[in-house]
A and B are shown apart, each in its own frame.
Chain A
């Protein structure tokens, strides 16, 4: 039985086994590689997408769990890097290697959608599950504050 759901506003379906992790469906089947696989255990945040508007770790979500739901990936955040966070990420020159940054941006976007003016501690608490080996945390923090300010 095919599993149907929405990705970035489009209806999609998959015949893959229902326990297949969403990250593989997105990356390898739907050819949306902006969502990254890093730990496969839900502990680093690189694979973060939005599931009905909330941040979710696509590396531990079986595709069966998203049936009928709305998934947004980094490719669907804006058509042209016009989301306030994307502009702020560039202004603060946040990424280094860049591999974790899709997940960082999606995690931050879920925060701002709920809380447009988060306090510093709220940002840190919300972002603490997202690892960055390059050590860009300070710039990510500043970029979120900038996006919050400049909307």
Chain B
């Protein structure tokens, strides 16, 4: 197919007729999540046994087995269990009979538009899978249950209202009759239009059987015996191996290389030039490694990042915060903060810095791609957060219709935003296309760091003014750096009511590759905000928890979270000898969190002993997994706050592996306590919520312990020693 045959926006590849052809024995339900809610249609399946149907969310087999498709990427956050669980809850399915499979890559069916309008996509980012799919999946489950009930009512000639369900059973109490969902599937007819179900028809959270219970995660057993399949593990017949030597300066290009010499090396099948590097394709991974080492590449001049020095650039950010020489964009503005600062009884000003941070997902980037001999189609195996976007990107790269690309989603050995980009997948497409054979492209850890996409370094300038009663009246915050919107997530303070505020972003450009990282900008912005609030409270001689309570007095849910962490940590009681405690609050992905860190310092090395965290995430679908997500966010946050740092000199990333890019280890991990606020509100995101409170809580604990302020993340021993003098 040619590029111009690609489908137009709005046109669906999936027709009712396709669905009616779908196979399997029993009942299938297809439900389209539109922006206006659930548009549903359904069909009696089983007309062509053996043909694998697509488009169905749920299949009920006559033996009672229930297959539910998972539309989200599974990168350790547990969505592949949580989403089917939500559907099974309203359907009243027997969870022990549920099987889970990756849904096909059909964004029109399985995607969400994330509230921005437009068509859906299958993109697992921003801790939004459970919160985004929660209501649609509940409605879908309720509709399916209703169809089963309607069929039984008709068959038994009893009023619908007399029927109830128990897990995978329809019950008619008056006549003591019970029938399994599998038995119903054997005779049931599904109407062309599924019955309408409203949110008011859904279960009360008090009646949940699955949501809120600690149901074990579907993916975990396979992650204890090596059988879980990551893209790195895929092998296909005839597969070659590929590696790329990428420009040492981000976005640089090769000018020439010793092509004949490398092609003559044992096992080398092909070399190929990419915009940003030279690819080597060969028969075995070890031969490709050898051949890549033999590459001698001349790099063209002119990449923007050439000569870039990150430390020098960061040192110049303070001057840029004046906003005279760079683009300034307003993020949020209320009242007249400059006038209010002028009238303040006392003014504060502080600057905070954060360095570049690397994703460090444990599975280095990789993909297996098989472009067919004609070059007009491909099969790909990849761990991606963006299944529909990745598939479309491959189709675009080949100039073919999306339907010509088959994408097999694999488990992700960590995502953190790095795997929502398809750069590594498109490299594999390039390599496979060059040899018309399947190629497994692998990045080494060194590749992964040096051609990484970093959380941007930045400077935060904050100013504030308090009135004679010590109330915060004015607040200004300017964040300076590269990366546009990556800088401003979390820079606003929606739960602190300050009558006059102004929040700006000053943007520069360095040509260094940047990307979303866990919690995006919340990590550094909340550090700066929470440290600054703490500093003001200390100067006002007000307990920092009480000071925050006053700021958020109109926000009961935020207050409850703060109060919960104060209770958990026995806030106000003296810390053990030689230790200090600090508190911080942050919102992320709709959830609210408050954290308390307890630390000690030994020769500049900060040791976090304990960390308490209270979270309001609405209804908690999987409590044990939710707790694990918060723990993980805290560990990642502490790791970045204490240790993680990418620097660039002469345009080159200075770090190359985990020996010089340190991350938190078991011995450095605190005892962590997590509490969720009981709630019947809709779920909000949890994958990133533990992270933003960490930097501030540690910095504030340091101040409580030493009387000094930490202003530059990470709080490495050399910086801590310098602060302590």
Residues on A close to B: CB < 8 A?
Answer: 16-17, 20-21, 24, 27-29, 31-41, 43-44, 46, 73-75, 77-78, 81, 85-86, 89-90, 93-102, 105, 124-125, 127-141
Out of A24, A27, A41, A141, name the residue touching B666 (CB < 8 Å). Answer: A141
Given contacts A33-B232, A38-B362, contact A133 B663 (CB under 8 A): yes
Q: Are B235 and A102 in contact (CB-based, < 8 A)?
A: no
Q: Chain B CB within 10 Å — which of A32, A73, A97 has the most?
A: A97
Q: Are A74 and B226 in contact (CB-based, < 8 A)?
A: yes
A29 CA to B287 CA, complexed, in Å:
13
Out of B75, B232, B444, B665, name the residue touching A36 (CB < 8 Å). Answer: B232
A77 CA to B659 CA, complexed, in Å:
29
Shortest distance in angstroms between B399's beta carbon and chain A's nearest beta carbon?
A: 32
Nearest A residue (CB) for B445: A39
Ordered by A's residue number, 19 sampled pairs between the chains whose C-beta atoms are within 8 Å are A28-B284, A36-B230, A40-B445, A41-B445, A43-B657, A75-B226, A93-B220, A93-B625, A95-B219, A95-B224, A96-B629, A97-B361, A97-B413, A98-B223, A99-B230, A124-B667, A127-B666, A131-B665, A135-B631
Q: Are B665 and A98 in contact (CB-based, < 8 A)?
A: no
A138 CA to B162 CA, complexed, in Å:
49
Q: Number of B residues whose C-beta is below 8 Å from A?
A: 61
Q: Are B631 and A90 in contact (CB-based, < 8 A)?
A: no
B480 at the interface (CB under 8 A from A): no
Given contacts A41-B658, A99-B230, contact A138 B631 (CB under 8 A): yes
Given contacts A20-B286, A139-B628, contact A95 B666 (CB under 8 A): no
A36 CA to B78 CA, complexed, in Å:
21
A133 CA to B446 CA, complexed, in Å:
17
Q: Are B659 and A43 in contact (CB-based, < 8 A)?
A: yes
Looking at B51-59, B424-432, B632-640, the stretch in contact with chain A turns out to be B632-640
Q: Are A73 and B362 in contact (CB-based, < 8 A)?
A: no
A125 CA to B666 CA, complexed, in Å:
8
For A16, list chain B residues within 8 Å (CB): 284, 286
Query: Other CB < 8 Å A-B pairs besides A46-B362, A137-B665, 7 of them?
Result: A24-B285, A24-B286, A29-B284, A41-B657, A75-B225, A97-B363, A124-B666
For B176, list chain A residues within 8 Å (CB): none
Out of A77, A94, A128, name the residue touching B665 (CB < 8 Å). Answer: A128
Q: Are A98 and B219 in contact (CB-based, < 8 A)?
A: yes
For A34, list chain B residues within 8 Å (CB): 225-227
Shortest distance in angstroms between B271's beta carbon and chain A's nearest beta carbon?
A: 20
Given contacts A35-B226, A96-B628, A97-B411, contact A133 B666 (CB under 8 A): no
For A75, list chain B residues within 8 Å (CB): 225-226
Shortest distance in angstroms between B446's beta carbon and chain A's nearest beta carbon?
A: 8
Shortest distance in angstroms between A80's beta carbon and chain B's nearest beta carbon?
A: 8
For A100, list chain B residues within 8 Å (CB): 362
A135 CA to B659 CA, complexed, in Å:
18
Q: Chain A CB within 10 Å — which of B444, B665, B672 has the most?
A: B665
A118 CA to B715 CA, complexed, in Å:
33
Q: Are A137 and B635 in contact (CB-based, < 8 A)?
A: yes
Shortest distance in angstroms between A38's beta carbon and chain B's nearest beta carbon?
A: 5
Residues on B close to A: CB < 8 A?
Answer: 75-78, 216-217, 219-230, 232-233, 235, 241, 284-286, 360-364, 411-416, 444-446, 624-625, 628-629, 631-636, 639, 657-659, 663-667, 669, 671-672
For A35, list chain B residues within 8 Å (CB): 226
Out of B75, B224, B232, B639, name the residue touching A86 (CB < 8 Å). Answer: B224
For B628, list chain A residues within 8 Å (CB): 93, 96, 136, 139
Q: Are B235 and A74 in contact (CB-based, < 8 A)?
A: no
Shortest distance in angstroms between B410's beta carbon and chain A's nearest beta carbon?
A: 11
Q: Are B233 and A135 in contact (CB-based, < 8 A)?
A: no
Out of B224, B229, B669, name the residue touching A137 (CB < 8 Å). Answer: B669
Given contacts A86-B224, A95-B220, A105-B224, contact A135 B413 (CB under 8 A): no
Q: Are B411 and A98 in contact (CB-based, < 8 A)?
A: yes
Given contacts A38-B362, A98-B411, contact A81 B235 (CB under 8 A): no
Q: Chain B CB within 10 Å — which of A21, A81, A99 has the most?
A: A99
Shortest distance in angstroms between A32's beta carbon and chain B's nearest beta carbon?
A: 8
Nearest B residue (CB) for A96: B76
Those 3 A-B pairs whose CB atoms lie nearest each other, nearest first: A34-B226, A135-B635, A99-B413
Given contacts A98-B411, A135-B664, contact A27 B220 (CB under 8 A): no
Nearest B residue (CB) for A123: B666
Q: Are A44 and B285 in contact (CB-based, < 8 A)?
A: no
A101 CA to B226 CA, complexed, in Å:
8
Q: Are B657 and A96 in contact (CB-based, < 8 A)?
A: no
For A43, list chain B residues within 8 Å (CB): 657-659
Out of B221, B226, B669, name the residue touching A33 (CB < 8 Å). Answer: B226
For B217, list chain A residues within 8 Å (CB): 93
For A31, list chain B residues within 8 Å (CB): 235
Out of A24, A90, A99, A128, name the residue touching B224 (CB < 8 Å). Answer: A90
Shortest distance in angstroms between B688's beta carbon and chain A's nearest beta carbon?
A: 12
Q: Are A27 and B224 in contact (CB-based, < 8 A)?
A: no
A16 CA to B716 CA, complexed, in Å:
43
Shortest distance in angstroms between A79's beta carbon and chain B's nearest beta carbon?
A: 9
Nearest B residue (CB) for A89: B224
Nearest A residue (CB) for B672: A138
Shortest distance in angstroms between B564's beta carbon and chain A's nearest beta carbon?
A: 20
A29 CA to B636 CA, complexed, in Å:
35
Out of B232, B284, B414, B658, name the residue touching A44 (CB < 8 Å). Answer: B658
For A138, list chain B residues within 8 Å (CB): 631, 669, 671-672
A101 CA to B665 CA, complexed, in Å:
14
Shortest distance in angstroms between A52's beta carbon and chain B's nearest beta carbon?
A: 20
